[in-house]
């Protein structure tokens, strides 16, 4: 409810221990043992052992509850996408619990009762957990109240309620787990070390530079029309290079797909424009705007009496979602007359026709003291009114701010002397707005709202703004049923055509290339959906059904490269045609998995050889630039940032420059890089300033290493234990 609507006199006990909502666990019964099981398959495996479903589903409920509460507090919708993220966090927590437990046991790590208590209370060198700080802060002092926490713990320890006992037991386990994780990663951090030589090299890499001139024969300057590459050449390049580390792949599967978008036809657009013209004509003479909008608009609530339908231009910091008009039309709306019809105009993909009902021009400034009393609390309302009335008799312009600090319960304005400024009437609850709008400047009085009693002073009122109050008909151009059917027929026909053409090919690589070729010929763009066996997921799809259909296509028991979807896959407003393009084993890729990359690299190699041949033995840059029809470029380079301005990211070329073999005033031989072939002259080397020590570099490098330990060690453990996440497959009905 705008500004006043944000006034609250409560504390939210939302916390997260190792990513979990600790106090949600304490206050709710989310620690029930869940004997959940699945009918077929497993959620996943760790070192070949099934992940305990009870552990996962318990954590899933915990995360979902915590995230829902956070979204509710932030007044955001908790969507299916958010639910997926909650599930991913639950999975990560479950895997961590299992794989790290073995590490704790192997190292003999434990958390004693004394250590647990110190960790909980933030004593003995431990920092108080933010979640505990938030939940047990004294509202009067704003400080952590250890007595409140102690009292709460005693209540839990003495409880005879089995659910409460179990909840507290689980809560302590969550806290102990967090401390154990911290301890483990701190233990690993003790093994991190940076030598003096490493620190020195880091210093030199950042602070020594070379000023260079260079001529580059860029690959991009040679088009495919000028230099073609055959399929035979690509295959030869693949056989020669497939075992190189940079081409190694992770096990997984790919699906290539393109989509036939379901969009309105020209006939649909003509019918839509005709409808808009009729609406606009009728709207101009309509006297019952509320009923007219109800009958003609997609959004029936785009009408209200008073100033609630005040609109602002897009980009205005006070604009409300959905209550805007294009910034380019600001002059049109502000100079319109009452009753004028504006539009049709586009508004974020929809079409609107607006009738100007009025203009809102009064901007107000007030200050207030809130004595909180929620609606329905009769006793509190009576005491709040008594206090407010008594304060109103003694408060004045000179002592108002002092009374705000002492009595106001509005956290949104207390630190600003109780002031709210530059607001219009629709931004506040009605009694508050009416007082600010109607009372003379300087008036002090008491106003009651659903939030309590406000002792208000009107500070200022201006009428130099002009925002339109609108009644709006909103319509969206959508494809007709005939259009949808025609496009669906087109997708089916295209799928049948692809199937016929692919059946003429026997080579798998040729099939995938042909799929891309047909898609491009028909005006579509084929792109990959890449999945990895350790955690098969599909990104880029709107509906879960479409994503699961893609997973089923790739991971069904009989899946083979070259398999087409049996029918176009509906994904919201598009029809997808897909083919299994890769089933990868870990290691060297199959040609079909890497054909496009091999083709690009083979072509670049061919271009590099052609450029090298043109360069020959020429090292004079000016002569070479003339020969290659290019310019001599200048750049400053360091070893730490191996990019060449005007060239590209070239770690091998820059590495050669700093190898010591190329002296100042000397030109290098032609060097093949990632973006082209370079001939470089070192004009000047700027040595790094002498340093007494390299402690700063050492500390920075050590900090980076320690900061990455938790992430890297988790990845290493998961790789070692071959963690497999089957959740998406299982949900799609696929057993692995």
Per-residue pLDDT tens for 477-509? Answer: 999 999 999 999 999 999 999 999 999 999 999
Does residue 733 lie in a domain region? no
Which residue range(s) make up the domain with 219? Answer: 209-230+596-686
**346 with 367, same domain?**
no
Q: Does 588 score more than 90 pLDDT?
A: yes
Residue 695 lies in a domain: no
Last residue of a domain, one of 561, 586, 611: 586
Please state the pTM of the whole predicted model: 0.71
Domain identity same for 176 and 44: yes
- Of 69, 95, 92, the closest CA to residue 82 belongs to 69
Residues 396 and 494 in one domain: no
Structure tokens at 349: 């993909």
Percent of the chain with pLDDT over 70: 94
407, pLDDT greater than 80: yes
Poorest-pLDDT segment among 68-77, 314-323, 540-549, 603-612:
68-77
Give the CATH number, domain containing residue 452.
3.10.50.40
Q: What is the DSSP letter of 219?
A: G
Q: What is the pLDDT of residue 369?
A: 94
Q: Which pLDDT value is given to residue 21? A: 37
On whether both 53 and 179 belong to a single domain, the answer is yes
Answer yes or no: is 413 within a domain: yes
CA gap 487, 268 in Å, rounded = 13
Q: Are residues 41 and 184 in the same domain?
A: yes
For the domain that residue 608 is a member of, what is the CATH number? Answer: 3.10.50
Total number of domains constituting the chain? 5
Same domain, 49 and 137: yes
> Is the residue at 197 inside a domain?
no
Mean pLDDT across the stretch 429-453?
93
- Number of other CB atoms surrounding residue 445 within 10 Å: 12
> In this structure, what is the dihedral angle of CA atoms 388, 390, 396, 398, given to the nearest 10 degrees?
-90
pLDDT of residue 139: 67
pLDDT value at 190 more than 80: yes
Q: Is residue 729 assigned to a domain?
A: no
Q: Are residues 357 and 380 in the same domain?
A: no
- Residue 685, pLDDT above cutoff 60: yes
The answer, yes or no, to whether residue 44 has pLDDT greater than 60, is: yes
385 and 356 inside one domain: no
Residue 312 in any domain: the answer is yes
Mean pLDDT of all residues in 274-287? 95
Q: What is the pLDDT of residue 4?
A: 33
Long-range contacts for 283-290 (Cβ within 8 Å, ≥24 apart)? 283/341, 283/353, 283/355, 283/473, 284/339, 284/341, 284/355, 289/355, 289/357, 289/471, 290/471
Last residue of a domain, which of 475, 496, 514?
Answer: 475
Q: What is the overall mean pLDDT for the chain?
A: 89
* Domain shared by 324 and 378, yes or no: no
Is 373 found in the same domain as 225?
A: no
Q: Which DSSP state fits 320? A: P
Give residue 140's pLDDT band: very low, low, confident or very high (50, 70, 90): low
Domain termination site, one of 443, 475, 507: 475
Residue 18 reports pLDDT greater than 70 = no
Check pLDDT > 70 for residue 2. Answer: no
Does residue 662 have a pLDDT over 90?
no
* CA 496 vs CA 72, 357, 504, 554: distances in Å: 48, 56, 13, 20
Residue 246 lies in a domain: no
Kindly state whether residue 488 falls inside one of the protein's structural domains.
yes
> Are 355 and 368 members of one domain?
no
Structure confidence by residue, pLDDT tens digits, 319-333: 998 999 999 999 999
Q: Are residues 577 and 607 in the same domain?
A: no
């Amino acid at each position: 409810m705008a500004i006043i609507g944000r006034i609250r006199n409560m504390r939210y006990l939302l916390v997260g221990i190792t990513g979990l909502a600790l106090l949600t666990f304490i206050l709710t019964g989310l620690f029930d043992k869940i004997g959940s099981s699945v009918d077929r398959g497993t959620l996943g495996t760790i070192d070949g052992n099934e992940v305990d479903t009870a552990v996962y589903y318990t954590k899933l409920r915990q995360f979902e509850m915590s995230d829902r509460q956070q979204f509710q507090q932030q007044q955001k919708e908790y969507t299916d996408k958010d639910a997926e993220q909650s599930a991913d966090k639950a999975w990560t927590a479950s895997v961590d619990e299992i794989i790290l437990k073995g590490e704790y046991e192997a190292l003999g790590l434990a958390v004693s009762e004394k250590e647990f208590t110190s960790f909980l209370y933030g004593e003995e060198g431990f920092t108080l957990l933010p979640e505990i700080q938030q939940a047990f802060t004294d509202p009067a002092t704003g400080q952590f109240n250890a007595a409140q926490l102690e009292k709460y713990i005693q209540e839990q320890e003495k409880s005879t309620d089995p659910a409460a006992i179990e909840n507290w037991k689980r809560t302590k386990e969550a806290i102990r787990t967090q401390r154990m994780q911290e301890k483990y990663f701190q233990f690993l951090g003790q093994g991190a070390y940076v030598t003096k030589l490493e620190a020195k090299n880091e210093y030199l890499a950042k602070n020594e530079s070379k000023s260079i001139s260079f001529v580059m024969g860029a690959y991009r300057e040679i088009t495919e029309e000028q230099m073609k590459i055959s399929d035979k050449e690509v295959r030869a390049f693949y056989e020669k290079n497939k075992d190189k580390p940079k081409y190694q792949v992770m096990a997984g599967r790919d699906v290539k797909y393109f989509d036939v978008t379901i969009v309105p036809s020209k006939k649909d657009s003509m019918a839509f424009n005709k409808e808009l013209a009729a609406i606009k004509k009728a709207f101009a003479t309509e006297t019952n705007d509320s009923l007219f909008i109800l009958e003609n608009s997609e959004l029936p609530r785009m009408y209200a009496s008073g100033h609630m339908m005040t609109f602002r231009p897009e980009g205005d910091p006070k604009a409300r979602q959905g209550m805007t008009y294009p910034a380019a039309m600001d002059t049109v709306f502000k100079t319109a007359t009452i009753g004028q019809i504006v539009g049709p105009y586009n508004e974020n993909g929809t079409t609107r026709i607006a009738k100007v009902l009025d203009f809102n021009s009064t901007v107000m400034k007030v200050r207030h003291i809130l004595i909180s009393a929620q609606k329905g609390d009769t006793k509190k309302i009576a005491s709040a009114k008594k206090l407010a009335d008594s304060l109103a008799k003694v408060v004045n312009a000179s002592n108002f701010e002092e009374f705000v600090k002492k009595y106001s319960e509005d956290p949104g304005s207390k630190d600003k002397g109780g002031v709210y400024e530059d607001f219009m009437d629709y931004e506040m609850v009605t009694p508050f707005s009416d007082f600010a709008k109607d009372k003379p400047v300087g008036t002090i009085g008491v106003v009651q709202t659903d939030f309590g009693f406000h002792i208000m002073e009107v500070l200022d009122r201006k009428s130099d703004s002009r925002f339109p109050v609108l009644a709006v008909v909103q319509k969206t151009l959508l494809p007709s049923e005939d259009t949808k059917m025609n496009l669906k027929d087109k997708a089916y026909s295209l799928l049948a055509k692809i199937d016929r053409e692919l059946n003429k090919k026997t080579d798998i690589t040729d099939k995938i290339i042909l799929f891309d070729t047909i898609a491009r010929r028909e005006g579509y763009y084929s792109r990959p959906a890449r999945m990895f066996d350790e955690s098969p997921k599909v990104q880029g799809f709107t509906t879960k059904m479409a994503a699961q259909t893609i997973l089923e296509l790739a991971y069904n028991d009989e899946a083979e490269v070259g398999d087409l979807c049996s029918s176009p896959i509906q994904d919201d407003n598009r029809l997808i045609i897909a083919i299994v393009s890769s089933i990868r084993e870990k290691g060297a890729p199959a040609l079909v998995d890497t054909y496009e990359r091999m083709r690009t690299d083979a072509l670049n190699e061919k271009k590099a050889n052609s450029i090298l041949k043109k360069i020959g033995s020429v090292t004079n840059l000016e002569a070479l630039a003339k020969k290659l029809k290019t310019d001599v470029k200048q750049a400053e380079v360091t070893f730490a940032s191996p990019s060449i301005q005007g060239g590209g990211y070239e770690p091998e070329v820059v590495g050669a420059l700093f190898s010591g073999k190329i002296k100042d005033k000397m030109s290098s031989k032609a060097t093949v890089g990632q973006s082209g072939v370079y001939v470089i002259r070192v004009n000047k080397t700027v040595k790094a300033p002498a340093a007494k020590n390299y402690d700063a570099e050492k500390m920075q490098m050590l900090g980076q290493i320690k900061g990455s330990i938790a992430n890297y060690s988790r990845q290493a453990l998961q790789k070692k234990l071959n963690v497999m996440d089957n959740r998406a497959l299982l949900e799609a009905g696929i057993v692995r």
